[in-house]
Copies of this chain bind each other. A is one copy, B any other.
């Protein structure tokens, strides 16, 4: 395999988004199109909380791989964004506004006891990946954020239009998120384009991003199987009838 130019590598990374990002999953079309039951929206918010809650732990693993203080200073902002400066602030707290808004018990949500096993395994795989793979791959795996502003735009419009239990306050997470995602993904993309300069490291960066799209896809597959098909695993959380 030949080494790609910087532009070719960026195009290859963006192609992964076009072909594999979870905006293509039928659950998202269902969610944004207003076809989800309230229980399905709850299940989505409940499971996705676990993903959100593990992001700072993932970012701490990435941070812990960085030898350069300047790099660490840039990356630590991600942890600040998620955890906030005080109780009740930050991305995780805003996600809890969403789970509150859709009528979930906060204690249940924070306990993560209602999370589907497949969600748990996928998220753990992501944290382990960032802990154990080379820094370039850990950073490349974050590049799904290149694709998130678009899906978030569709989500806000679709959910406000279709669900009477959703309003702008409940969706505060999503209004705050796109500028952060854009800043973070611009930084991460520059890092990857600068450091992936061999055919081997470019292939590894692309594989890392593909892996991450799998992590996201598996979570929606699990929701679909359990709550759209109506085949939840034994003992798993069920929406109130």
Contacts and interface: CB of A to CB of B under 8 A. Distances in A.
Contacts of A20: 234-235
Interface in A192-241: 210, 213-215, 217-218, 221-222, 224-225, 229, 231, 233-235
Contact of A128 (B124, B218, B221): B124
Contacts of A124: 121, 125, 128
Say what secondary structure dominates the interface of chain A.
Answer: helix
Interface in A1-35: 19-20, 24, 26
A120 to B, nearest CB: 8
A54 interface: no
Given A117-B218, A221-B225, A225-B221, A234 B24 contact: yes
14 contacts: A117-B122, A117-B217, A118-B222, A120-B125, A121-B125, A124-B128, A128-B128, A210-B235, A214-B233, A218-B233, A221-B225, A224-B229, A224-B231, A225-B225
